Structure 1
Amino acid sequence: MNPMMAARLYSSVQGGSMPSSPTPQANPAAEGPGFADMLKSVVSQTAEQTRGAEMQMAQNVQGQGNLIDVVTSISAAEASLETVLAVRDQVISAYKEIMAMPI
């Protein structure tokens, strides 16, 4: 997976659009939440989706839920987790590249 694909996946989870080219910002703090805040938000959303999928499965086991709802919630949780893992892998890759750079 290339970095642009991971960035697009991350952007799609956030509901934003990927800018075509980076634009310099005079005051990045005024723009909005930082990268760490966005990561916290995505991780908490992933956890919520996972809990929702677990609740759907428990209801289905008890005979109260619908199988289609279970499959849908599991698919959403899986897609969210895959996005988080893709972003994590790209961050680790970027860190390794930076650490390998000569000073």
Structure 2
Amino acid sequence: MNPLMAARAYAAAQGAGGASAGAAVAEAGGGEFSQLVQNAMTDMTQATRAAETQMIQTVQGQSSMIDVVTAVASAEASLETVIAVRDQVIQAYQEIMRMPI
């Protein structure tokens, strides 16, 4: 999976074909890839915090276990997306470094 494919997958997961998803994919091909990665990191952080909040509410008896499972699954999907993008960026960098000058 190349970084553009990862960007498309992330945009599809976020917008499900909406206008913002198309803009994110268009930006991924240009100079705004760093913004896409930053947004993915922010979304991952927010999903993780939401999962933590759901866990605390469940322990306090204010929420159900299904809410916790849903929040944790969302946080896990966000984390896997960020890790996949990171791995692809590292792989692309390594390939560029192997290119002859």
For the aligned pair, the TM-score class normalised by the smaller chain equals 0.7 to 0.9
Per-residue Cα deviation, 1:15-37 (whole angstroms, up to 9, x for no partner): 22597xx9xxxxx67xxxx1111
AA in 2 matched with 1:51: R
Aligned partner of 1:58 among 51, 56, 59: 56
Give me the whole-angstrom Cα distance separating, in 1, the residues matched to 2:43 and 2:8: 18
Give me the whole-angstrom Cα distance separating, in 1, the residues matched to 2:38 and 2:89: 14
TM-score normalised by the chain length of structure 1: 0.76
> Is the deviation greater in 58-67 or in 48-57?
58-67
Per-residue Cα deviation, 1:37-95 (whole angstroms, up to 9, x for no partner): 12111111110110000000011111111111110010001001100100000000000
Identity of aligned residues (%): 52
SS in 1 for 2:94: helix
Give me the whole-angstrom Cα distance separating, in 1, the residues matched to 2:12 and 2:57: 30
Relative to structure 1, is the Cα distance of residues 38 and 61 closer, same or farther in structure 2, using a 3 angstrom cutoff?
A: same
**Aligned residue number for residue 10 of structure 1:** 10
Aligned partner of 1:78 among 73, 76, 79: 76
- Structure number with greater Rg is 1
SS in 1 for 2:55: helix
Give me the whole-angstrom Cα distance separating, in 1, the residues matched to 2:54 and 2:75: 12
Task: Please tell me the root mean square deviation across aligned C-alpha atoms, in Å.
Answer: 2.5
AA in 1 matched with 2:82: V
Q: What is the aligned residue count?
A: 92
The answer for unaligned runs of 5 or more in structure 2 is 16-20
Aligned partner of 2:38 among 31, 37, 40: 40
